[in-house]
Amino acid sequence: MNPEFGTLHALLQRRLYLIADHDFRDVDPTGHLAALQQISELLTSEHHRLKPILPGRLAHFLQQASFSKALEYLEKGE
């Protein structure tokens, strides 16, 4: 994986972790939603920062908010 994509990779992993954290969602639905919104904003910011160097497929996945596909793309090292 390109070292430039480390933050993007971490954010995508964090997003999946938050989505799967049903205990957090059940105990604090408002906080859970706020955390998901924050991750979405950070992903958008990171996408814009990296836009000039993103490979076409990765850029497409991020543009379409296909975050699971973007994470898979990064982890496969395509």
Q: Residue 1 above 80 pLDDT?
A: no
Q: What is the rounded CA–CA span in Å between residue 62 and residue 60?
A: 5
Residue identified by tokens 């993007």 is: 8
**Residue 3: per-residue pLDDT:** 83
Q: What is the rounded CA–CA span in Å between residue 74 and residue 6?
A: 9
pLDDT tens figures, 8-53 = 999 999 999 999 999 999 999 999 999 999 999 999 999 999 999 9
**Residue 77: per-residue pLDDT:** 77
**Residue 2: per-residue pLDDT:** 81
**Residue 22: per-residue pLDDT:** 96
pTM, rounded to two decimals:
0.89
Instruction: Find the domain containing 24 and state its range.
Output: 3-76
When divided into structural domains, the chain yields a total of 1
Q: Which residues of 50-75 are buried (b: 16+ CB within 10 A; e: fewer)?
A: beeebeeebbebbeeeebebbbebbe
> Exposed, middle or buried: residue 12 (CB in 10 Å: 0-12, 13-18, 19+)?
buried
